[in-house]
């Protein structure tokens, strides 16, 4: 018997509001949370805008010791994790802990603290032979990427497979995909999954500046993230975290849990082309979509909504449009496809899971979130991008796709519980 995988809880820390209600309010109203950087003085940078979270960890249940010990991206995961587990109604104390896993993604992990302490030990970038006595006590936790999954696992008492996944900007889809396999293949019954990143720091902003991947539209930050628009000029950096509770379907039913939807299929491939470049054809992303659909035993025509990677770089949006057309054929033209990065920016490894939460909510509300700021069509991007205004629509199966540095292309299919579909 195949084991099916249900989503039974969601939690989120995203720009524009903390928690699921605030997040959905932002998306369903098409508001944007991008602004000028306030975390540090960005002068000298080409892109000085970002989607920052107004996040007070103390107000969301973290104590002083946790706040001191945990990097910001881990704080996001803890707060989103609390919300997701509460939402699921799971009493984790009653679960067999060896059957509870954690799978969390991050692209840049603890780099913000690594950079902060680097400045101290290098005396402001002057010494290669750094002065270890200036280092702060929790630096090793920033150095080890497994701190993310480990800290969340300790909080929820998970003793099963616990892993941090780091495939650049597809991390947040792949972390869900890995856990999907883990439950499907009977290595766990419950997995706390998701992703988190807090990359708004000088080194990360500077390294994307260096390859001109981020938008220089500093004069109009609220409208700077323009996926699929002809005038798009790069992505706007974001931050945030999202956590979902995945659960074997019968396990969820046995305890009478609300099932938001199922993870129907997942696949990932490499493009073997370029670390940051994408082909025009989108062959590998199309293959990931087709393979995820196969896994879900769905035909492309079953897809009712595509949650796009839609980063707002010239090449990404062309690539992705081609890939979706290749995978869904004519049906692509009848399928709404939007990018929430227009509203919450691109939080690197976190965004994949944030987008899956958006898909879960789209299914729950039967509403497609829009692509904010979309005004001027690009002849090479000729699909229905749901300009500016959310749209009610009957949604049974939705697709979320992502592209990452390294050439990674991932796809996740979500479906409403089948007995409810006509």
Partner 1 sequence: MSEPHPRRAAVTGIGVVAPNGTTTETFWKSTKEGISVLDRVTREGCEHLPLRIAGQVREFDPSAAVEERFLVQTDRFTHFAMTAADLALDDARLPRSDTDGAPFSVGVVTAAGSGGGEFGQRELQQLWGKGSRFVGPYQSIAWFYAASTGQISIRRGFKGPCGVVAADEAGGLDALAHAARAVRRGTDVIVTGSTEAPLAPYSVVCQLGYGELSTVADPVRAYRPFTSAACGFVPAEGGAMLVVEDEDAALERGARVRAFLAGHAATFTGASRWEESRHGLAQAVRGALDEAGLAPEEIDVVFADALGVPEADRAEALAIADVLGAHGRRVPVTAPKTGIGRGYCAAPVLDAAAAVLAMEQGIVPPTPNVFDICHDLDLVTGRARAAELRTALVLSRGLMGSNSALVLRRGTAGAAQ
Among 208, 228, 235, 260, binds partner 1 (CB under 8 A): 208
Listed residue (345, 378, 353) closest to 224, CA to CA = 345
Comparison of 126 and 420: residue with beta carbon closer to partner 1: 126
Q: Which of the stretches 56-64, 242-250, 266-274, 316-324 binds partner 1 when contact is defined by CB under 8 A?
A: 266-274
Q: Tell me if 160 sits within 8 A of 99, measured CB to CB.
A: yes
Comparison of 371 and 409: residue with beta carbon closer to partner 1: 409
264 binds partner 1 per the rule CB under 8 A: no
CB of 154 to partner 1, least distance (A): 6
Q: Which of the stretches 86-94, 271-279, 389-397, 412-420 binds partner 1 when contact is defined by CB under 8 A?
A: 271-279
Q: Looking only at residues 210 through 229 of this chain, which bind partner 1 when binding is defined by CB under 8 A?
A: 210-211, 213
146 binds partner 1 per the rule CB under 8 A: yes
45 binds partner 1 per the rule CB under 8 A: yes
Active centre residues (catalytic)? 169, 309, 346
CB of 282 to partner 1, least distance (A): 13
74 binds partner 1 per the rule CB under 8 A: no
112 binds partner 1 per the rule CB under 8 A: no
Among 273, 330, 376, 382, binds partner 1 (CB under 8 A): 273
State the number of binding residues for partner 1 (CB under 8 A).
82
Query: Which residues make Cβ contacts (< 8 Å) with residue 89, sequence separation at least 6?
Result: 8, 9, 255, 257, 258
95 binds partner 1 per the rule CB under 8 A: no
Q: Which of the stretches 74-82, 197-205, 249-257, 374-382 binds partner 1 when contact is defined by CB under 8 A?
A: 197-205
Comparison of 164 and 371: residue with beta carbon closer to partner 1: 164
Comparison of 106 and 396: residue with beta carbon closer to partner 1: 106
Among 36, 145, 216, 417, binds partner 1 (CB under 8 A): 145
The distance of Cα 139 from the centroid of its chain, to the nearest Å, equals: 25
Comparison of 181 and 388: residue with beta carbon closer to partner 1: 181
Query: Which residues make Cβ contacts (< 8 Å) with residue 143, sequence separation at least 6?
Result: 110, 114
408 binds partner 1 per the rule CB under 8 A: yes
246 binds partner 1 per the rule CB under 8 A: no
CB of 128 to partner 1, least distance (A): 5
| SS3 annotation, the chain | CCCCEEEEEEEEEECCEECHHHHHHHHHHCCCCCEECCCCCCCCCCCCEEECCCCCHHHHCCCHHHHHHCCHHHHHHHHHHHHHHHHHCCCHHHCCHHHEEEEEECCCCCHHHHHHHHHHHCCCCCCCCCCHHHCCCCHHHHHCCCHHHHHHHHHHCCCCCEEEECCHHHHHHHHHHHHHHHHHCCCCCEEEEEEEECCCCHHHHHHHHHCCCECCCCCCHHHCCCCCCCCCCCECEECEEEEEEEEEHHHHHHCCCCCCEEEEEEEEEECCCCCCCCCCCCHHHHHHHHHHHHHCCCCHHHCCEEECCCCCCHHHHHHHHHHHHHHHHHHHHHCCEECCHHHHCECCCCHHHHHHHHHHHHHHHCEECCECCCCCCECCECCCCCECCCEECCCCEEEEEEEECCCEEEEEEEECCHHHCC
Q: Looking only at residues 152 through 181 of this chain, which bind partner 1 when binding is defined by CB under 8 A?
A: 153-154, 158-168, 174, 178, 181
Comparison of 228 and 266: residue with beta carbon closer to partner 1: 266
The 329-368 site mask, x for binding partner 1 (CB under 8 A), equals: ----------------------------------------
Among 22, 67, 121, 222, binds partner 1 (CB under 8 A): 121
Among 60, 82, 122, 384, binds partner 1 (CB under 8 A): 122
39 binds partner 1 per the rule CB under 8 A: no
């Amino acid at each position: 018997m195949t084991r099916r995988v249900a989503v039974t809880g969601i939690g989120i820390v995203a720009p524009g509001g903390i928690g699921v209600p605030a997040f959905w309010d932002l998306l369903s109203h098409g508001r944007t949370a991008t602004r000028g950087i306030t975390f540090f003085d960005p002068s000298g940078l080409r892109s000085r805008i970002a989607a920052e979270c107004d996040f007070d960890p103390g107000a969301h249940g973290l104590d002083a010791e946790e706040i001191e010990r945990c990097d910001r991206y881990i704080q996001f995961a803890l707060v989103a994790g609390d919300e997701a587990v509460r939402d699921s109604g799971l009493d984790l104390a009653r679960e067999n802990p060896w059957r509870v896993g954690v799978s969390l993604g991050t692209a840049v992990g603890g780099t913000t603290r690594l950079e902060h302490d680097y400045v101290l030990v290098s005396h402001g970038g002057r010494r290669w032979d750094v002065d270890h006595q200036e280092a702060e006590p929790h630096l090793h936790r920033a150095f080890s990427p497994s701190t993310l999954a480990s800290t969340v696992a300790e909080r929820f008492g998970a003793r099963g497979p616990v892993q941090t996944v780091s495939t650049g900007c597809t991390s947040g889809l792949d972390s869900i995909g890995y856990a999907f396999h883990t439950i499907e293949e009977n290595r766990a019954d419950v997995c706390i999954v998701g992703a988190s990143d807090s990359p708004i720091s000088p080194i990360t902003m500077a390294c994307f500046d260096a390859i001109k991947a981020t938008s220089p539209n500093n004069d109009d930050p609220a409208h700077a993230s323009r996926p699929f628009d002809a005038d798009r000029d790069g992505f706007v950096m974001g931050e945030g975290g999202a956590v979902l509770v995945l659960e074997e379907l019968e396990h969820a039913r046995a305890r009478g849990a609300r099932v938001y939807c199922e993870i129907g299929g997942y696949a990932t491939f490499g493009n073997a082309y370029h670390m940051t470049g994408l082909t025009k054809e989108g062959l590998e992303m199309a293959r990931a979509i087709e393979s995820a659909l196969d896994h879900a035993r769905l035909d492309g025509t079953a897809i009712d909504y595509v949650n796009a990677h839609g980063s707002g770089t010239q090449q990404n949006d062309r690539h992705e449009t081609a890939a979706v057309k290749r995978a869904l054929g004519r049906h692509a033209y009848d399928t709404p496809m939007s990018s929430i990065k227009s509203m919450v920016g691109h939080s690197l490894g976190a965004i994949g899971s944030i987008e899956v939460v958006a898909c879960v909510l789209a299914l729950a509300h039967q509403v497609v979130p829009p692509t904010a700021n979309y005004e001027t069509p690009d002849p090479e991007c000729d699909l229905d991008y749901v300009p500016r205004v959310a749209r009610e629509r009957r949604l049974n199966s939705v697709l979320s796709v992502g592209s990452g540095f390294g050439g990674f292309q991932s796809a996740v299919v979500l479906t409403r519980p089948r007995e409810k579909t006509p």
